[in-house]
Amino acid sequence: MWSISDKGEREFTGGKEDWAAVAHIAENCPGFKPDDEDEMVADEAVSCYNCRYRRWTIKSFVCCK
């Protein structure tokens, strides 16, 4: 589910469209914090895609927590 980059960052391997998986991850993540409302992209309020600690990459996102 996660790959580790050369920089030691955790990148989600499911890409940008795995809505159910990232909602499940975020629900169980103590570090989840909702991003600015204008930056949200997922319908599920609690989702890595809506988290202020995600950083988009070309294929997916990196978790900064």
Partner 1 sequence: MKIFVAIDDSLQLDGGKAGVTASLLTQAIEDNGWGKCTIPSRHRLYPHPDTGCKKHNTARSFSADIEEQYLQVFIDYACKLIKSSGTPDSNAGLAIAVPELMENTDELLDYAYRVKEGMVSKNDALAFADKPGIYLFELSGSGKGIIGALAAAGLRITGNDGQFRGKLQLSKVESYVATVSEIIYNTYVEQVKNMEMENIGLDEYVRMGEKVKVVLLDNKYTLMVFPTDIQHPKWQTSTTHMLRVF
CB 12 within 8 A of CB 2: yes
**Type of residue numbered 22:** V
Is residue 41 close enough to count as binding partner 1 by CB under 8 A?
Answer: yes
Contact pick of 10, 18, 21, 42 for partner 1 (by CB under 8 A): 42
| Interface pick for partner 1 out of 18, 19, 26, 46 (rule CB under 8 A) | 19
Nearest to 49 by CA among 5, 57, 3: 57
Q: How far is the CB of 1 from partner 1 (least distance, A)?
A: 20
Which residue number, 7 or 28, has a Cβ lying nearer to partner 1?
7
Identify the CA nearest to 23 among candidates 37, 3, 43.
43
